[in-house]
Amino acid sequence: MFEKGGLYHWKDEIKAKTHGHTDPNEMKPLFGVFSECLKLDLISKQEVIGHADWIVSTEGDSDRFFIDISLCRDLNDLLVVLNSVNLTDDILQIRVIFGLINLQFLIHKINTDKALSVLSKFTYRKEFTPYETNEMGYLIEEWRRLGRHSDKRAQKKFNERVKVFFDNYSGLYLYDYKNWNEINSKIIKDFLSKKQIRSGFFGKLSKRLKKFL
């Protein structure tokens, strides 16, 4: 049982016996992130297919949906299968994508240009908190400005600020979809407190200024 690779298969068998069959409907948020990440070239089709292969191999009678994913041979077919479960589109899934980008920064799998290229595709969304909207707007504007002016020192400082922004989403792991809502609530609370701190500071400053008017 514990020869090379044996523990992995033993864990698979335990998973199959204790968790039963995986319901695609319960994984819709994850499939939505898969679909978007595939189009953004943040994950490979092999990773998604591999996840489905694992489910099929560890469940005696897995849902046909996962078998269809396993049989996909090109990206278009995979996107069609993923979208067949009527995927949802919400801001939480975008934050999970940002969490994935943060992880890719940590393992040196992505650079600032790619991360901001992805970020720029979501700046139009109205569901972000004021902190997110303001920071995203600044990052995109500064990215374009630095692209026109070569300043290594400023670029290095900017790259760090980009990483700090994506680090806000470090708690949102791709496959931890059952805990996304809870983690997302904490992230929103943190963002709103940042807004309140800023508002409080400027509010006090405004009151002081009024005394001199």
pLDDT tens digit string along 3-22?
333 333 434 444 444 456 88
Structural contact between residues 25 and 84, judged by C-beta atoms closer than 8 angstroms: no
Rounded Cα gap, residues 205 and 213, in angstroms = 13
Rounded Cα gap, residues 90 and 82, in angstroms = 16
Confidence of residue 33 (pLDDT cuts 50, 70, 90): very high
What is the model's pLDDT at position 194?
A: 83
In a domain, 140, yes or no: yes
What is the model's pLDDT at position 208?
A: 43
Question: What b-and-e string marks burial along 162-176, b requiring 16 or more CB atoms within 10 Å of the CB?
Answer: beebbebbebbebee
- How many independent structural domains does the chain possess? 2
**Tokens of residue 167, six digits:** 């680090």
In a domain, 199, yes or no: yes
Q: What is the pLDDT of residues 130-186, one digit of tens each?
A: 999 999 999 999 999 988 776 888 999 999 999 999 999 999 999 999 999 999 999
Residue at a domain's end among 64, 83, 102 = 83
Domain with 10 in it: 6-83
Query: Can you give the pTM of this predicted structure?
Result: 0.82
Place of tokens 């943040």: 42
41: left (phi over 0), alpha (psi -120 to 50) or beta: left
Per-residue pLDDT, averaged over 59-81, amounts to 94
Residue 39 has pLDDT above 60, yes or no: yes
Determine how many CB atoms are found less than 10 A away from the CB of residue 152. 7
**How far are the Cα atoms of 29, 53, 61 from residue 67, in angstroms, in the given order?**
19, 8, 10
Rounded Cα gap, residues 102 and 196, in angstroms = 25
In a domain, 1, yes or no: no
Q: How large a percentage of the chain has pLDDT more than 70?
A: 81
In a domain, 60, yes or no: yes
In a domain, 12, yes or no: yes
Q: CB-based burial of residue 99 (10 Å sphere; 0-12 exposed, 13-18 middle, 19+ buried)? A: buried
Q: Both 108 and 63 in a single domain?
A: no
Q: Both 99 and 74 in a single domain?
A: no
Q: 3-state DSSP call for residue 105? A: helix
Given CA atoms 17, 172, 26, 61 in this order, what sign does their dihedral have? negative
Residue at a domain's end among 52, 83, 114 = 83
Q: Both 101 and 201 in a single domain?
A: yes
Q: Both 76 and 100 in a single domain?
A: no
